[in-house]
Amino acid sequence: MSGAILRRVSIRDTVIDGGNGANADASEATFTRVEIRGLRLTGAILAGAQIKDATFVECRLDLSSFRFAQLDGVRFENCRMEEADLYQATLTSVAFSTCDLTKASLAKPTFHRCEMRDCELNGVGNPEQLRGVAMPWQDIVRSAAVLALGVGVHVLDDE
């Protein structure tokens, strides 16, 4: 599936276990009630996709584009999502658990009833857009520098 053209494809009630979908183009695709495990989706294009009631476990989604995508009832577990692009994506009831979102682009996404647990947020773009995300207190403390940047707090040096 590496580099496959899957534009506007509809995938329902399916389990995908492993494989390589790097650089696949699934623009405007629909994924409903799917479970995806161990799939490499580096650089995949999911722009405008509709993803509902889906689970991604131990997937590589680094450099993937979710621009304008609509995610509803989606769970990401132990996924690598470095530099993922969530530009104007709508996320409703989405959970991120132990995901690496380093340098992910959060330009104008909308979060409704979303959770992030034990996620890496260093260098995330537009951290102020995390409004609407719930996090455990220890994660908030761990990500304090990123969250402070998002609300415009400047950290003083200990001089």
Question: CA-to-CA distance for 83 and 43, rounded, in angstroms?
Answer: 9
Under 8 Å between Cβ of 1 and 20: yes
Of 121, 116, 86, nearest to 103 by C-alpha is 121
Under 8 Å between Cβ of 90 and 109: yes
Query: pLDDT value at position 4?
Result: 82
Query: pLDDT value at position 159?
Result: 67
Question: CA-to-CA distance for 35 and 72, rounded, in angstroms?
Answer: 14
Report pTM.
Answer: 0.93
Per-residue pLDDT of the chain (159 residues; tens, 9 = 90+): 777 889 999 999 999 999 999 999 999 999 999 999 999 999 999 999 999 999 999 999 999 999 999 999 999 999 999 999 999 999 999 999 999 999 999 999 999 999 999 999 999 999 999 988 999 999 999 999 999 988 888 878 876
Query: pLDDT value at position 94?
Result: 98
The tokens for 76 are: 């990401």
Q: How many CB atoms lie within 10 A of CB 131?
A: 11
| Paired residues of 117 in beta bridges | 97
Domain extents for the chain? 10-132
Under 8 Å between Cβ of 64 and 81: yes
SS3 content of the chain, % helix, strand, coil (to 5): 10, 40, 50
The tokens for 148 are: 């402070």
Sign of the alpha-carbon torsion through 40, 76, 100, 5:
positive
